[in-house]
Structure 1
């Protein structure tokens, strides 16, 4: 029997500090599938939302960077478990956005891959340095701090995971601007993160217009690094890089050629968002 009931149209919210607030502007925008069908509404983040997200990321940095590498790895693995449990929902959203089920499986596997690196990256890329004199000289990689990320627009889930996971596994906290036209996998991922033991503020997800949000993150004096993976326009990327220079942010420039996010990730993104600290200590007699 036909029903005259109207389905509830979901309006997805932002993810800031472990909570799901509406944009302070009260704005939202419709999200459509690759075929043009309406899917949901997403919050249209503002400059103040970006500032709130940076504040949350900074507040979370001390606890997250101070956690043991083993603990961070366990939490990332828990994210993979939760994502696996909601695989069907992610497949539906990713395929509606023009992707396929393989992208979802690869995204789950990528969380597991980075989880395994949590307690190994310092061993592989740190070390004891030979010096002249009775000293120990040790170099260890440490997190940079708060990282602002523009997510890749061409890979709404796998590309997103590939820029978030390497940043947080090494102890950084993140403010990510989701793909403007395909934000639903990002906000659904935020729901997974909120229930997977990840402390609030470690990952903050903003949806909306990249051109409106990214300049404020690039110029924010409490952001330590900028990942421009989702800014393919060279002129726009250069403008953001110039804005980032005010406090000497570390900048990951967008690739010169299209990125194959399904390819093996390597350790480059982890190392690009770390600083090497060298310590001298006298040897005992």
Structure 2
């Protein structure tokens, strides 16, 4: 099996040793005759923009869960698989749970200024519903962790497919769900149907003081509408791990707004140690003609 690795130099240094140990039967390279390769391992930052010469490739395995930067490439006709990695799911669930707990407990209310504020005790988790937009692998992992603490969880997904222990609504029912979302976690993919989903109208539907936690895609929220909504207290705070422009420019209004916390796209990372076995299994499946896991639906974009 000959595999072309197309990702950044930094990714190559981290991934190559682990992939070679996990997939010893493969020859892994960053260069060579395109017609000689059986598969491509891809992440943004790689050098392949034209997939047409790779006519013998049976699978393009993405190292990222999101594939919006590649799925619209007209030269990509080979099967494309996104990464569904247990380590990535755990990292995302931990990030979302940590920020949900901060919002729930009101940790930022207790200024260390000598004022005794014991009237500001939080409710129990069982008394506060958390709403998750996007009930894919990451959404389900996050819901499971939050439910383990005691939060009732409401989910919204394009399909409305049931998830055990979660009240799931179809995306068409988003508006009434937002009115009950005191903690809203955004994990939807970037598609034409989700861009600017949280616009001025929908942000105004949130309860006063609600928290929005977005480690999904920066395109889900209308930036200017969010800033204006924060000034009105709906939502009360936004935690943004994904932005339309990354790194976020130093002069951007998000840095200065007291209602925004920016984190530098660190919510969930694809770790070679947990993701390489997933990639290896998928490549073996593709080479042997077996069904590939996590195959991307080009029409849906994920």
Shorter-normalised TM range: 0.3 to 0.5
Report which of the two structures shows the higher radius of gyration computed on alpha carbons. 2
Alignment TM-score, normalising by the size of structure 2 = 0.32
Q: Which has the higher helix share?
A: 1
Higher RCO, Cα 8 Å, sep 6+: 1
Alignment TM-score, normalising by the size of structure 1 = 0.33
